Each structure stands twice: as structure tokens, then as C-alpha cells.
Amino acid sequence: MEQSLRLRAYGKINLGLDVTGTREDGYHLVRMIMQSVRIYDRITVTRKKTPGIVLHNSLSFLPTDRRNLAYRAAELLFQETGMEETAGVEIRIEKYLPVAAGMAGGSTDAAAVLYGVNRLFRMGFDEKKLCELGLRLGADVPFCVMRGTVLAEGIGEELTKLPDMPDCSILVVKPDFPVSTKQVYQDLDAVMPEDGDHSERAERFRESRPDIDGLIRAIEAGSIGGLLPCMGNVLEQVTVPAHPEIAEIAEKMEALGADRAMMSGSGPTVFGIFRSGDAAENAYRTFREESRREKDGARIYLTQPYAPLKPEREVRK
């Protein structure tokens, strides 16, 4: 019987993020293409002899109790199986993904713990059940269980697996400030236009909407060129006015050769898609050198799309 597992919890970007409405309970309805990237936290899940959950985190400012989604993931599985009084697990999180960045850092840690505890204790839950349980923890957790290239609808729980995103280089820059996803969605209600609103602000919002169906067709065709004009993120209409440096980073990426650059999730992380590996390397070095010179605390990575069955490649950070 396995006593310990070491897992990778992959981050994500949003190739397209649209908000189509709001449910009566306040949850926003989304339609988005989510893409795993090869930047990950390392999660070690180990059986322990005494009952209970112990969590360690490499970042001291992050909680190690029920306030942490990874802790609650283990707790949920023990409750579902009636093992909360008898089973014990130790979880160690080595954080490499940026925090409060729009890359699902907390959700992917929780998903890894769901997978690891389920396997370690032979609970027998399949991926579909783990996704259902993950939804109780957060809207991004089911995708983080599935990983890869996925269409997410509803509040994020209706998932459709898509073909792998075509190979490319992805430059990721997370500026040194956090953004609250909850606050962004709350503020979104004030800028979403009503039907019949043709004001300049309303038209700007509509223009920011991604072409989700176009993205799906491009992914199915294996066409990076077809994917680029379909990308978009309506949450930029909230986050960018509050943090103009996000737009500045995207503009700089494109000036350095990115075929498309935009914000991921609720921000503040910006990513750029590069068909040219040389241009991506040059942009990576430029951002790194300027960050070191200005000591701005930005987190900078050069990575690729993650597909579960493809071999790993180097991540630059």
C-alpha cells in the first residue's frame, strides 16, 4: 500500500473568458476556454498514523488550516467516506505558482489533494466524482482535476474536454500585487451592459468578449493563427481600469513579439502567446532584466501549454 505521493498541481490561463449572466443566487454564468500550463506547485500527500490533517506550506503567510482549500479537500474526502475519525494525512505544499494571480493556484492545490488522498486511501472515486466534490470547494477546482484544454460553462462546473492546444511558447508575468477574484466579479455587475444599452462603455464591453465558438474551432483545427483573434477576457473591463499596468505589460509583450497578450482570469497575471520560440526567449530575458533592475517583485515564467499525455519540458522562471 502506498504511503506517500508527490504530485504536480498545474496552473491555468484563460484563452477566452466570457460572462453571460448572473444566477439568482449571485453566481455568475461563464463560458470560457481554460488551459493548463506547465507551471506547477509540488504537493506531497503522506499517510500518518494518527487521525487528522496536518498541512505545511512553503509560504508562511498562507493559512495551514481550514482556510486553505487543500486542507478542506482532504477534510471533504474523509467526511464523504466516514474516515474523519480514523484517517490521518500530512500535506506539504511547495508553492511556485503566484498567489492571487488568476492562475487557480489555490484550486489546483485542492485538486491535487483530492486526487492524492483518493488514491492513497483507495477511496475509489472516479474523475467525474472528484469533479463533483471539487465544485463544493470552488468553481475552478473541477477543471483543475481534469486539466488540459477545456470548455467550462455554467458557473464553471460544466466541463467539455477539447483537443490539446497547439504547441507554442507562453510568457507569463505576474506583477507584484494581488487581485481579489470575488471583488472583481462583484464589480463586474456594474459594468455589464443591459440589453438595449448602446453607450460607448457598453460597446467597449461587448468588443472585449471572446469568440468562444471560434476558439473551439481553432483548437480543433490545431491552428494557433485561428485562435489568436478569438481570444478575449471580459474581466479586463474591471481589473485593468483599477490597475493600468496590466495593459502596459500586455502592450509590451506584443511589442516584443507576442502574437497576442492579455490578462488571465481576474488578474493581475498577463500572458503572451508566441509562435516564435526565439521571440519568446528574448521577451522573457527583457522582462527578467528590467524586473531585476527595477526590483519590482514581478514573477516571470516562460512555459508551454500542458497536455496530460505529452512529455514534460523545461519551465523558465
Residues at the binding site for ATP are 98-108
Q: Which of 18, 41, 109, 140 is catalytic?
A: 140
Question: Known catalytic residue: 176?
Answer: no
For 71, 138, 157, 172, the CA distances from 261, given in Å and listed in that order, are: 34, 27, 26, 10
Q: Which of 12, 18, 109, 174 is catalytic?
A: 12
| Residue numbering of the annotated binding site | 98-108
Angle between helical axes of 69-81 and 105-120 (0-180°, round to 10): 30
Question: Known catalytic residue: 49?
Answer: no
Give yes or no for a contact between 273 and 168, defined as CB atoms under 8 angstroms apart: yes
The catalytic site residues sit at: 12, 140
